[in-house]
Chain A
Amino acid sequence: MNYSAIKPCDIADGTGVRVSLFVSGCRRHCPGCFNSSTWRFGAGRPFTEGTEEHILRLLAPDYIRGLSVLGGEPFEPENRAVLAPFLERVRAALPSKDVWCWTGFTLEELDAEAECRRMLGCIDVLVDGPFVQAERDISLAWRGSRNQRVVDLAKRRGEASAFGASLLK
């Protein structure tokens, strides 16, 4: 897997201040995509053991609430093979941090695949569905078009809501 960017202090992709990882590679090619430079699987740099260590270090400070994984498409088979173990590592090493993930698939599609379910088990908030230009609305929180959903996976697992007490009013 390659990745296109790591933002060490991101406030635009999920609640709180977060570390964001933009993976490379996406076959969906939605018209109007905000990040088409990451469609190519070879874009950016290889995601290595060193990259993992770097991200774990960036996640450590108190003011960082968690990790956001965007793309590209994190759930492309090539990417999930790397991300599933990595997300498990993050959860084990830093249990107080939460994980957000953006995908063009729908939750229902992902639920059907074992490897995807393994990843979903590590994710607290999933923003799902393809970007549809006709449904574009810049005032939406965390998503680009109205068809996309912000799903509280933590709550679905029976854990405390990923949004805390009063977020997303």
Chain B
Amino acid sequence: MKIIKRNGEEREFDVARIENAIAKASASVSPLDALTARQIARCAAEVEQECSRLRRAVGVEEIQDMVERSLMRGGFLAVAKHYVTYRYERALARKGNTTDAKVMSLLDSVNETVRQENSNKNPAVVSVQRDYMAGETSRDLTRRLLLPEDIVKAHDEGLIHFHDSDYYAQRMHNCSLVNLDDMLQNGTVISGVMIERPHSFSTACNVATQIIAQVASCQYGGQTVSLAHLAPFVDVSRQKIRKELEGSRMPKAERERMVEQRVMEEIRRGVQTIQYQVVTLMTTNGQAPFLSVSMYLNEAREGREREDLALVMEEVLKQRIQGVKNEAGAWITPAFPKLLYVLQEDNVREDGRWFYLTRLAAECTAKRMVPDYISEKVMKANKIDASGEGRCYPCMGCRSFLTPYVDKEGKPKYYGRFNQGVVTVNLVDVALSADHEWEDFWMILDERLELCHRALKCRHERLEGTLSDAAPILWRHGALARLPRGERIDPLLHGGYSTLSLGYAGLWECVFAMTGRKLTEPEGEAAGLEIMKALNSYTAKWREAEGVAYSLYGTPIESTTYRFAKCLQRRFGIVPGVTDKSYITNSYHVHVTEPVDAFAKLALEAKFQLLSPGGAISYVEVPDMKGNIEAVLAVVRFIYDNIIYAELNTKSDYCQKCGWDGEMQIVEQDGKLVWKCPRCGNTDQSTMNVARRTCGYIGTQFWNQGRTQEIRERVLHL
């Protein structure tokens, strides 16, 4: 007969252990109330019988319940009472404070995991440390009190990943599309102060950055704002300037020229405000706001407003190409805001009205790694809402996409919506557990997804009952809603208004483990697509049953990629082509070491992206392309025709010693990987700037050796 220990381990039933426990409790009461050795043996035997009747392995907690009942039945009330108290105290001790060591190591800056966890947070800075301390407390509460034990266990074993447990204790959601339009046009309230509709473009930009900062402190994921929501304020400025100049005796044509000149100055000032504020702000999450700025011409009304939006977009791109100055005064690539450029029919071909903007965007991508590109054409063909219309809209921050939705009046609604959170399934573990047997694969997948489902429900239920006062900027003053004071946000969590994401990781290794084929081979591709379809059938089933918008999401697993890889090696050892790297592949991506050209990769991955409706991004890794903008444009046009959302990992480096702005090399020096300028041979990291995208984020600090090796191993797709 087996029992199951608290940590999940199985062990042979041993009646002596039960006798021991009873004897201990008995010894600490007065001899009058104590049990004799025979009485102890009888109690223990009763428990043993009860266990064997169950015909299954019994949990420790269950056995202790049986002991209690047996003591009561025998009339040994004093001993029973003592036994209960002892159990309670032990339970408390188990739930006791386990965060001390973690917090202390944080404060002493020796916690290596934390140091590598987020490339946008610097754990040496005190304000970041405060965020991390709060994070540790939240993680601890989440593990011990808030989540069911089996979910915590599945997370620890790397079967699933319960994301963002450092924010889970509080009632916070993931990411959002901020309804800047409503907030600017109808006014808002920031920290109790009323902010009315701005009277100029630069004020609108200023207010926007205040909103962005507030929103970033009330959620843990990224946010996206649209330049189209700022564009109407260009004409507000224009009218104001025109009025000011009305009295002057200048000829009309000259006056108009002057008006436009001052409008341009106004745009420059406003755009600069956003760029500098966003990179210099630090939110209560200990980092700059994870902000994406959407540039979508068709989002603005045709005519004046769209032309003004084009002016603003041009200025944003020009300022980004210039970059921002670092501590030493060198122009470098800022990590934020991320730029999202929407490709549409009249900006992709040379004869298109707005093609000059796309060319400028391509130059900017070559120099600064952004913008990323969204295809209006492919998106509208695939994101069909209840009214049968195709829709195009940006992702929220990094790569989460909302699902199509229409409000009660049947109008499409995107800005003001959000994602509740993510739980990711490790597909590689499912495959290795199934050991080439498809029947087992689907059965194990079913179990793992049920775990994910329950974990997602925990996220959802944690948010239920949140009052609008918890984050006034979000729920009361327009960023996501205009609820009255003291109102629950629950209606926003149901009916598809916000989404709940089932993430997946390691499709490449999963398919290889099951079929011995790569995703780039026909058989591998077919298996991969079948798995993706199965995952979608689960989210559809849950959506149907609960009326909550579950959707499938290609998670950007930054540090989780290493955690999963470690867990897999522990559970299955080194399996060639599956667990032989220190990382696993994100979402449906083709493996970084697989030789494939950019166009073949995007065409293949586009099929998988369509099956990732909760969001995903494809990328191509390319060398320095500043000297060949035509080639960037060839990729951009291919994106427009083939895939919803993609980015180019270009190289954006700078040697402060010789001014080289081509690609820095990684070379081996005394058994260590170091960065080296190919022109002057400089290897001093403090006098060079290197920016690389790692798992979707632009990092500008230098990386650990493992990551540097991964960067070096990347195959170029052009």
Contacts and interface: CB of A to CB of B under 8 A. Distances in A.
B627 interface: yes
A9 B598 contact: yes
Interface stretch (A11-19, A30-38, A107-115, A122-130): A11-19
Contact of B718 (A9, A141, A142, A164): A9
B160 to A, nearest CB: 38
A95 interface: no
B630 A138 contact: no
A65 B598 contact: no
B599 A65 contact: no
Given A15-B631, A63-B634, A9 B599 contact: yes
Interface residues of B, number: 23
A17 B628 CA distance: 9
Nearest to A163: B630
Interface string B631-644: 10111011000000
Majority DSSP secondary structure for residues of A touching B: loop
Interface in A115-169: 138-139, 141-142, 164, 166-167
A16 B627 contact: no
B397 to A, nearest CB: 30
Contacts, number: 52
A17 B678 contact: no
Contacts of B238: none
Contacts of B628: 11-12, 15-16
A16 B679 contact: no
A50 interface: no
A63 B599 contact: yes
Nearest to A16: B630
B523 interface: no
A139 B662 contact: yes
B637 A12 contact: no
Contacts of B46: none
Given A8-B597, A138-B662, A138-B679, A15 B635 contact: no
B715 to A, nearest CB: 12
Contacts of B633: 16
A61 B633 CA distance: 14
Contacts of B623: 11-12
A68 B376 CA distance: 33
Contact of B635 (A8, A63, A138, A139): A63
Contact of B631 (A11, A138, A139): A11
Q: Which size bracket describes the interface of A in this complex? A: 20 to 34
B637 A11 contact: no
B629 interface: yes
A141 B627 contact: yes
A17 B634 contact: yes
Interface in B95-130: none
Most buried by A among B598, B622, B627, B637: B627
A62 B633 CA distance: 12
Contacts of A166: 359
A101 to B, nearest CB: 17
Contacts of B557: none
Contacts of B634: 16-17, 63-65
B339 interface: no
A110 B62 CA distance: 93
Given A11-B625, A16-B630, A16-B631, A63 B662 contact: no
Given A11-B622, A166-B359, A139 B599 contact: no
A63 B638 contact: yes
Contacts of B359: 166
Nearest to B627: A141
B679 A139 contact: yes
A34 to B, nearest CB: 14
A63 B637 CA distance: 8
Contacts of A65: 630-631, 634
Nearest to B600: A9
Contacts of B717: 9
Contacts of A142: 627
Interface of B: 359, 597-599, 622-623, 625, 627-631, 633-635, 637-638, 660, 662, 678-679, 717-718
Give 8 nearest A-B pairs by CB, closest first.
A16-B630, A11-B631, A9-B597, A15-B630, A63-B634, A17-B634, A11-B718, A17-B631
20 contacts: A8-B597, A10-B718, A11-B628, A11-B631, A15-B628, A15-B630, A15-B631, A16-B628, A16-B631, A17-B635, A61-B599, A63-B599, A63-B635, A63-B637, A64-B634, A65-B630, A138-B662, A138-B678, A138-B679, A139-B660
